[in-house]
């Protein structure tokens, strides 16, 4: 009887410890491309997840599929970050202990045409989110930044201390938010903030159930290319064939979206050490040209991609790729999925979902 009591006591103690240490993450923009993949990794990592999204450029179906894939449930709430009252109610009810912030407009070209929309949604939306976090005593956040904060780099690869100089409104909103976060931490050193500057996320979950589903005409290379390959579009426009690169086309650092998602979990682990403000590049350190992407996609899928080289696009740098060594050193994060997998997974998603989530 005595031994049974000891076993029962130990079992209850372990259960109580697990309940106490289980963490809850609130993910803004959780139904989006990177957000949905990160929600999946969070669930697999044992987190409780509250996904918040206004669904202006995403679909709730992505989160339904995340739950199907993992066999685990999350909480979804449709909410715009500019709605401070509803956002405050969400924090008060669900009491997350950390926030991963993806929500925001993200098309470079669109930001040039509609800059005020970007400053309102991205900057004011973040300021509202942070104010609600302050009101609720939540001081841990991972922010989804971008390599666009570096502008046109003078030297390669790009490290975290490379000069900053965004050249479009989208990139400037990311820079402003980064500065806002730094200023907040200076005003209150108990904040722990991770800023992740990632390069060009592509690919999809290996199940083919969640992936990139752009509204309207894709602005990124991979989804446009897969839509051409599946017959949704006639041909791919390659912007510029006369850059000072190995084949004349732009070179970029493409990284699998699953590796990016896993990087957010590593950042959350680091925040438990209360490191202040930490900034890391998420990239592979390898640059691929547009033509190399096309040829690798054709070789890996057996699909031809008709393309035509057109004039350069204003503002495009010849080459942009990361130095990811700091993330490997400090976050113990390293990308594991190469270009072949990026192409294969993108194509599997496109084949299974020729019309996206619709």
Q: Which two tokens stand for residue 133?
A: 């976090």
Rg of the Cα trace of the chain? 21
Residue 252: Cβ-neighbour burial (10 angstroms; 0-12, 13-18, 19+): buried
> Cα separation of 172 and 164, whole Å?
10
For tokens 């669904």, the residue is 55
Assess whether 170 carries a catalytic annotation.
yes
Consecutive H or E run containing 341:
helix 339-352
Asked whether 82 and 57 are in contact (CB, 8 A), the reply is no
238 SS3 class = strand
Under a CB-based contact definition with an 8 Å cutoff, are residues 165 and 287 in contact?
A: no
Tokens of residue 290, six digits: 């547009």
Distances (CA, A) of 208 to 73, 203, 231, 347: 19, 10, 18, 9
Separation of alpha carbons 312 and 327, rounded Å = 33
- C-beta of residue 58 within 8 angstroms of C-beta of residue 105: no
d(C-alpha 327, C-alpha 80), whole Å:
31
CA distances to 13, 30, 272 from 16, rounded to whole Å, are: 5, 29, 20
Sign of the C-alpha dihedral computed for residues 176, 181, 182 and 188 taken in this order: positive
Catalytic residue among 47, 170, 224, 321: 170
The residue whose two tokens read 């064939």 is 241
The whole-angstrom distance between residue 335's C-alpha and the CA centroid of its chain comes to 14
Q: What angle do CA 87, 215, 99 make, to 5 degrees?
A: 30
| Catalytic residue ranges | 170
């Amino acid at each position: 009887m005595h031994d049974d009591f000891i076993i029962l006591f130990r079992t209850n103690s372990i259960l109580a410890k697990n309940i106490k240490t289980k963490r809850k993450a609130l993910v803004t923009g959780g139904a989006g491309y990177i957000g949905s993949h990160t929600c999946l990794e969070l669930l697999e990592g044992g987190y409780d997840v509250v996904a918040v999204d206004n669904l202006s450029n995403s679909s709730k179906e992505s989160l339904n599929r995340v739950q199907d894939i993992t066999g685990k449930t999350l909480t979804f709430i449709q909410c715009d970050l500019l709605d401070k009252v509803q956002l405050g109610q969400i924090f008060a009810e669900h009491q997350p202990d950390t926030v991963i912030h993806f929500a925001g407009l993200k098309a470079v070209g669109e930001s040039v045409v509609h800059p005020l929309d970007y400053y309102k949604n991205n900057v004011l939306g973040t300021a509202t989110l942070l104010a609600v976090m302050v009101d609720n005593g939540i001081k841990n956040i991972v922010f989804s930044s971008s390599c666009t904060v570096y502008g046109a780099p003078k030297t390669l690869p790009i490290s975290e201390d490379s000069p900053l100089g965004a050249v479009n409104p989208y990139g400037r909103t990311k820079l402003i938010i980064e500065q806002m976060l730094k200023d907040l931490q200076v005003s209150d050193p108990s904040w722990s903030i991770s800023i992740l500057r990632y390069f060009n996320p592509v690919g999809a979950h290996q199940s083919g159930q969640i992936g990139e589903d752009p509204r309207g005409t894709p602005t990124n290379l991979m989804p446009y290319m897969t839509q051409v390959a599946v017959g949704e579009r006639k041909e791919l426009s390659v912007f510029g064939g006369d850059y000072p690169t190995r084949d004349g086309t732009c070179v970029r650092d493409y990284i699998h979206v699953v590796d990016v998602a896993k990087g957010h979990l590593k950042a959350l682990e680091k925040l438990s050490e209360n490191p202040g403000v930490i900034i890391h590049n998420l990239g592979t350190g390898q640059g691929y040209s547009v033509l190399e992407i096309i040829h690798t996609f054709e070789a890996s899928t057996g699909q031809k991609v008709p393309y035509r080289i057109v004039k350069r696009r204003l503002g495009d740098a010849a080459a942009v790729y990361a130095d990811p060594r700091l993330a490997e050193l400090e976050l113990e994060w390293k990308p594991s999925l190469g270009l072949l997998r990026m192409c294969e997974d993108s194509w599997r998603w496109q084949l299974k979902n020729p019309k996206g989530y619709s």
